[in-house]
Amino acid sequence: DAGVIQSPRHEVTEMGQEVTLRCKPISGHNSLFWYRQTMMRGLELLIYFNNNVPIDDSGMPEDRFSAKMPNASFSTLKIQPSEPRDSAVYFCASSPEGYEQYFGPGTRLTVT
Amino acid sequence: AQTVTQSQPEMSVQEAETVTLSCTYDTSESDYYLFWYKQPPSRQMILVIRQEAYKQQNATENRFSVNFQKAAKSFSLKISDSQLGDAAMYFCAYRVYNTDKLIFGTGTRLQVFP
C-alpha cells in the first residue's frame, strides 16, 4: 500500500495567488482529514470528510479556504487568495471508520 | 470541551535508557481512544501506539508502552532502551468513541543522546 499521497510536497507562491493542495487517501478508507501545522498553533484540524461528505469544517480559518472531495480517492484543499500567514505544513490523513488515522507526508506551503 | 495537555515541551534521554512522556486529557465521555504519534524531522506523522478507554490493560508495542490511568485522565508513554531514531516530536491525541475527530496535544520534543 502506498499510504496517503499528497502533492505537491513543497509549494512556494506569492501573496494573492491561488494554491491547491491535493490528497489521495488510502484505498478503502472512508474518512479523510485536512490538518495545518504551525509553530504557533500546533496541529489544527481544518475539515474532515466521511464517505466524501464534509462532516466538520469548523476549523477552516475563513472563506479563503475551501475543500472538496469529489470521490473516494481524491481531495483538494484550496486557498484563494493566499496570504503570508497561511504558510504552514498541511497534512492530509485518512482512516477506516472507527480506527486510527494515517497521515500523508505533508505539503510545506510558503507564501511570500 | 475535550482538551489534551502535554506539559513537557522538551525531554532528553541517554541512548539505551528509559524515558516517560506525560499526557493528560479532559473529557466527560466514558468511551474514547487515546494515541501517541511520533513526528521525526522528516515531519511524517507516525502512529506509535493506541489505547481503548474500556481496556484496563496498558497497550504495548515493542519498546513502547503506556501507563493509562483513566480516573486520573493520564496517558503517559514509556520508551525503553531508547535509540537515536526515537528522537522526534511526540504528540498525544484523543478521539471520542463514536466520532473520527482527533484532538492533539502541543507535543513533546524528545532528544536522544549517544
* Model confidence pLDDT, tens digit, residues B1-52: 789 999 999 999 999 999 999 999 999 888 899 999 999 998 889 999 999 9
Gyration radius of chain A's alpha carbons: 13
Q: In B, which residues are within 8 Å of A97 by CB distance?
A: 100
Query: CB-based contact (8 Å) between B45 and chain A?
Result: yes
Pairing relationship of beta strands A107-111 and A88-95 according to DSSP bridges:
antiparallel
Q: Among B86, B91, B110, which Cα is nearest to A91's?
A: B91
How many Cβ atoms from other residues are within 10 Å of residue A89's Cβ?
A: 17
Give the integer Cα–Cα distance in Å for A88 and A70.
Answer: 25
Give the angle A70-A75-A79 at the CA atoms, nearest 5°.
110
Determine the pLDDT at residue A105: 94
What is the average per-residue pLDDT within A4-24? 97
Determine the pLDDT at residue B29: 87
- More confident position, B45 or B99: B45
CB B106 to CB A31 under 8 A? no
Nearest CA in chain B to A59: B101
Reported confidence tier of residue A110, pLDDT bands at 50, 70, 90: very high
Instruction: Please determine, for residue A1, whether its predicted confidence score (pLDDT) is greater than 70.
Output: no
Look over chain A and give the mean of its residue pLDDT values, rounded to a whole number: 94
User: Which residues of chain A approach chain B closer than 8 Å at the C-beta?
Assistant: 31, 33, 42-43, 45, 48, 50, 55-56, 89, 91, 93, 95, 97-98, 100-103, 105-106, 108
pLDDT of A81-97, one tens digit each? 999 999 999 999 999 87
Q: In B, which residues are within 8 Å of A89 by CB distance?
A: 43
Q: Which three cell numbers stand for residue A34?
A: 485536512
Query: CB-based contact (8 Å) between B35 and chain A?
Result: yes
Give the integer Cα–Cα distance in Å for A90 and A43.
Answer: 9
Cβ A57 vs Cβ A63: under 8 Å: no
The DSSP bridge partners found for residue A22 are: A7, A76
Instruction: Please determine, for residue B99, whether its predicted confidence score (pLDDT) is greater than 80.
Output: no
How far is B100 from chain A, CA to nearest CA, in Å?
A: 6
Q: Among A64, A2, A103, A22, which Cα is nearest to B44's?
A: A103
Give the integer Cα–Cα distance in Å for B62 and A36.
Answer: 30
| Residues A112, A104, A20, A10, CA torsion sign | positive
Which amino acid, A20?
T
How far is A14 from chain B, CA to nearest CA, in Å?
A: 24
pLDDT of A29-57, one tens digit each? 999 999 999 988 889 999 999 999 999 99
Determine the pLDDT at residue B100: 82
Nearest CA in chain B to A103: B45
Cβ A111 vs Cβ A83: under 8 Å: yes
What is the average per-residue pLDDT within A58-68? 92
Determine the pLDDT at residue B58: 95
pLDDT of B74-94, one tens digit each? 999 999 999 999 999 999 999
Gyration radius of chain B's alpha carbons: 14
Determine the pLDDT at residue A4: 96
Give the integer Cα–Cα distance in Å for A65 and A86.
Answer: 10
Count how many pairs of residues, chain A against chain B, have C-beta atoms within 8 Å. 41
Q: Which of B33, B35, B44 sits opposite A105 (nearest CB)?
A: B44
Pairing relationship of beta strands B102-104 and B3-5 according to DSSP bridges:
unpaired
How many Cβ atoms from other residues are within 10 Å of residue A52's Cβ?
A: 15
